[in-house]
Chains A and B, each alone.
Chain A
Amino acid sequence: AQTVTQSQPEMSVQEAETVTLSCTYDTSENNYYLFWYKQPPSRQMILVIRQEAYKQQNATENRFSVNFQKAAKSFSLKISDSQLGDTAMYFCAFISNTGNQFYFGTGTSLTVIP
């Protein structure tokens, strides 16, 4: 069974600073995908970044980057130059390439302070 753990229920960061959100997962699969989704107060989940497990290079998407440590089963999200619009709930998610359901973590509520 797959599990995803986010150990930080709430975090805050000053505007323009950098923050890292943690995620660990457990799986016996070798090929899978990891995602970070953002859920602003408007509630629609938006994809932030995705990482294929077979790629060693960490994914980067503008101010968002990940630190993917496959052996440690760790997948953290770094947000640089935090903006007020980054305030949201962030979910880490896992999907194997043999299944078609996402497994989500419990989320981290991030507040960017002006």
Chain B
Amino acid sequence: EPEVTQTPSHQVTQMGQEVILRCVPISNHLYFYWYRQILGQKVEFLVSFYNNEISEKSEIFDDQFSVERPDGSNFTLKIRSTKLEDSAMYFCASSIGTDSYEQYFGPGTRLTVT
């Protein structure tokens, strides 16, 4: 069965550094998402992406964050200057379209900012 994949599984970075989290959505899916889960807290929506542009974003998704689909398969989340509070699990998800609300989640990338 097709799966969403994410790399790396764990990323450690120093405060102020830039990080790029990578995701490969399911190949025929058209909508892509990033979510964040701070340890012990709920999963929070960051951004959705369709047709090479952001379709919706939360207030968490400030100017430090950006997303990109650099080629036909990858979907990336960049954090320009990481802060301690960016430490979290980051989940990528994809869905086939707006008439199918089921989102398929990747295994997540654990980001640790020191």
Contacts and interface: CB of A to CB of B under 8 A. Distances in A.
Contact of A102 (B43, B55, B106): B43
A50 B42 contact: no
A100 B102 contact: no
Interface of A: 33, 35, 37, 42-47, 50, 91, 95, 97, 99-107
B56 to A, nearest CB: 6
Interface of B: 31, 33, 35, 41-45, 48, 50, 55-56, 58, 89, 91, 95, 98, 101-108
Contacts of B31: 100
A43 B108 contact: yes
Contact of B101 (A44, A97, A104): A97
A3 B91 CA distance: 20
A90 to B, nearest CB: 12
B56 A45 contact: no
B33 A44 contact: no
A12 B96 CA distance: 35
Given A100-B55, A102-B35, A44 B106 contact: yes
A96 to B, nearest CB: 9
**What secondary structure prevails in chain A residues at the interface with B?**
loop
B107 A104 contact: no
Contact of B105 (A45, A50, A105, A107): A45
24 contacts: A33-B101, A35-B102, A42-B107, A43-B89, A43-B108, A44-B106, A47-B102, A50-B102, A91-B43, A97-B98, A97-B101, A100-B31, A100-B33, A100-B48, A100-B56, A101-B33, A101-B45, A101-B56, A102-B33, A103-B45, A104-B43, A104-B44, A106-B41, A106-B42
Contacts of A102: 33, 35, 43, 45, 103
A101 B47 CA distance: 8
Contacts of B56: 99-101
Contacts of B50: 100
A47 B95 CA distance: 13
